[in-house]
Amino acid sequence: MSEEVKVRRVARKVSSGEDGAPGAGRPRTRAAKAALPQMAFDLFADVAADLTCGVDEVGRGPLAGPVVTAAVILDPSRPIKGLADSKKLTAQRREALYEEIVERSLAYCIAEASVAEIDSLNILHATMLAMQRAVNGLPRVPTLALIDGNRCPVLPMRAEAVIKGDDTVPAISAASILAKVTRDRQLVALHDEFPQYGFDEHVGYGTPRHLEALRLHGPSPHHRQSFAPVREAFEVFGALTVSRLARLS
C-alpha cells in the first residue's frame, strides 16, 4: 500500500439552467452572463444552498495503516435510511450504505494521512491534516463543517465539533461509513502482502493476536513506529531489511 496520500472525490451534477449551471438561465444581461465564469455561478449556488458537510475519521487507534477521513454533503432530496455510527453496523450493512452514499450524496471526498505522517506529526495532528484534506477536496464548497468529536481542524469555513456526532448527525454518520469501509478494504488488501499479522481480522488494532505477531515477526513497513508496542518491537528487531522482508513473506 503506497505511502502517498490518496484522495478521491465525486460530485453529482445538478442542473437548473440552460447550460447546466444553477442560475445560468437568469443572467441580468448578456454581457453579465459572459463576464461571470461558470465557477462563480456554482459558488453562488453553494452559498445560497447553505451546504453542510459531515466529517469523521477512522483509524486513530490501530498500530498499523493510515488514518482515513471522509467529508460528505448529503442531498436532502435523496435521503438514505439506516445511517449510523459505522462501528455499530455490520460489515455487510456498511458496504451497502457505502454504495448508497456514493450514489446519492451531493459530494464526498475520502482522504488520509500516511503512516509516515502519523509518526512525524503524531496521530492527533495527522488526523486533523487528513480531515483538512477531505473537506478541502470536496468539489462543492460547504458553508459549515460538522466534525465528529471535540476538536476541529483549521478550515476555510465555519466548523463545529459534535461529540458522538457519528451516531446523531446523518452527514457525519455517512462520513464515518465511507472512512471505515475504505480503511478496512486497505487493511484486508495488506493482509495478502503480510498474512502473518492477521490484518484481515483486526485491521491493524492491537488485538492479542496482533501483539503476538509483532513479538514473533517484528514490525512491517506499515506499522506506526510512534506507537508503543510497535516501537518496542523495532527496538528488539531493528530496522526491516529487504532480506528479512523476503523471509517473512
Map residue 205 onto helix, strand or coil. coil
Residue 95's domain comprises 52-193
Give the residue carrying C-alpha cell 506507537: 227
Phi-psi region of 13 (alpha: psi -120 to 50; beta: other; left: phi over 0): beta
Domain count, the chain: 1
Grid cell for residue 90:
455490520
What is the tens place of the pLDDT at every residue in 116-171?
Answer: 999 999 999 999 999 999 999 999 999 999 999 999 999 999 999 999 999 999 99
Grid cell for residue 114:
500516511
Is residue 184 a part of any domain in this protein? yes
Binding residues: 56-57, 148
Residue among 55, 95, 96 at smallest CA distance from 74: 55
Is residue 32 a part of any domain in this protein? no
What is the tens place of the pLDDT at every residue in 164-202?
Answer: 999 999 999 999 999 999 999 999 999 999 999 999 999
Is residue 89 a part of any domain in this protein? yes
Rounded to whole angstroms, the Cα distance separating 212 from 70 reads: 32
Binding residues for a divalent metal cation: 56-57, 148
Task: Report the DSSP pairing between strands 67-73 and 8-11.
Answer: unpaired
Question: Which CATH number is 56's domain given?
Answer: 3.30.420.10
Give the residue carrying C-alpha cell 452572463: 33
Q: How far apart are the first and last CA of the chain?
A: 15
pTM over 0.85: no
